[in-house]
Amino acid sequence: MLEVMDLPGNAHSVHGVGQRAFERVEDARRRLGSVFGVRPSRIVFTSGATEANALAMHGSRRWLASAAEHPSVLAWAAGTIPVDSHGVTCEPTGNADGYAVMLANNETGVIQPIADARAWATRRSARLHVDATQGPARMVLPDALWSADSVSLSAHKFGGPQGVGALVVGEHEAEPEREALLRGGPQERGRRAGTLNVAGIVGMAAAAEAAERGALRALRDELEDGLRGLGGAIIGERAQRLDNTSCVRFGDLDAADLVMALDLAGVQVSAGAACASGASERSHVLRAMGIPGSAVRISMGFATTAADVHGAIAALARILPAKDLK
């Protein structure tokens, strides 16, 4: 990324310097295609998953989205598909032009049935959009993922820079079948206008290649044993979940209160999604699962160590007795 930041070229300029930037972008596209096993031409670079979700879902189609989706998906849906008490999306009963089912939930880590969703959508001649933001490097990606009509990715979720992502469009999607969301230049074959974030794109490809899955699972299990030992209930624990995410509820204890107390102890967690933190509203994900009260989401990064996990449990063991646990 540092090397590319020194390149003055705009990847869409025809002069030599621009072409060198363009070559970096195309190299990153090829490398991402190879990591994910998709044709590079299916990749449309965006500013992240929020934009990728909008690019996939905007327009006149009527979408139904799983009730536990990220707000950037729910914003485009005409209605929701229920999730069960484990947080897993149920088969929809209503017809729609498209169904949006995320790969894994950002608050609970619960993995969703993408192969089933593909089958539901196909049976109804509808499109399937998958917000796969939480998946890479935190779970084995199912083959069915790449049979979706569109898949959103965000680099910073697998160790890359913030502010860059992609929409992977369908294998046989005719151009310009997908109407551009932003109007302007012809970048990304007319599918996404605007000067490309060359350094971000190169960083995204490098992160995808470097991301290794596996190390976090044992730490997550250790963390959850500790949380249960302190009286915590793990949300969605009977479902398949991401390697790095635990969502825990301590009776009636207010999650926002716990987030603040933990922060003072040097442990950063969130009540629900990071982007909803600060909002006093109850988590729509817990509501959709029929779970009362609030919960704390603890997610681990690639640099999290066993000592961090022990430190978090020790901090909670100090904090919880002082709270009025019912």
Q: Could you list the residues that contact ligand PLP (CB under 6 A)? A: 48-50, 70, 72, 102, 106, 131, 133-134, 154, 165
Between residues 279 and 325, which has the closer beta carbon with respect to ligand PLP? Answer: 279
Least distance (Å) between residue 114 CB and ligand PLP: 14
Residue 90 falls in the annotated catalytic set: no
Between residues 106 and 187, which has the closer beta carbon with respect to ligand PLP? Answer: 106
> What is the token pair recorded at 133?
């933001």
Between residues 133 and 283, which has the closer beta carbon with respect to ligand PLP? Answer: 133
Least distance (Å) between residue 110 CB and ligand PLP: 12
Catalytic residue among 115, 275, 306, 325: 275
CA 301 → CA 22, 243, 304, distances in Å? 31, 10, 5
Q: Which phi and psi (to 5°) does residue 294 adopt?
A: -130, 165
Least distance (Å) between residue 150 CB and ligand PLP: 13
Q: Which phi and psi (to 5°) does residue 188 adopt?
A: 50, 45
Comparing C-alpha atoms, which of 108, 146, 52 is closest to residue 241?
108
Least distance (Å) between residue 220 CB and ligand PLP: 17
Least distance (Å) between residue 125 CB and ligand PLP: 26
Between residues 19 and 277, which has the closer beta carbon with respect to ligand PLP? Answer: 277
Least distance (Å) between residue 72 CB and ligand PLP: 5
How many CB atoms lie under 10 A from the CB of residue 18? 16
Between residues 270 and 304, which has the closer beta carbon with respect to ligand PLP? Answer: 270
Between residues 144 and 273, which has the closer beta carbon with respect to ligand PLP? Answer: 273
Task: Report the residue number whose CB is nearest to ligand PLP.
Answer: 48
Please list the active-site residues: 275
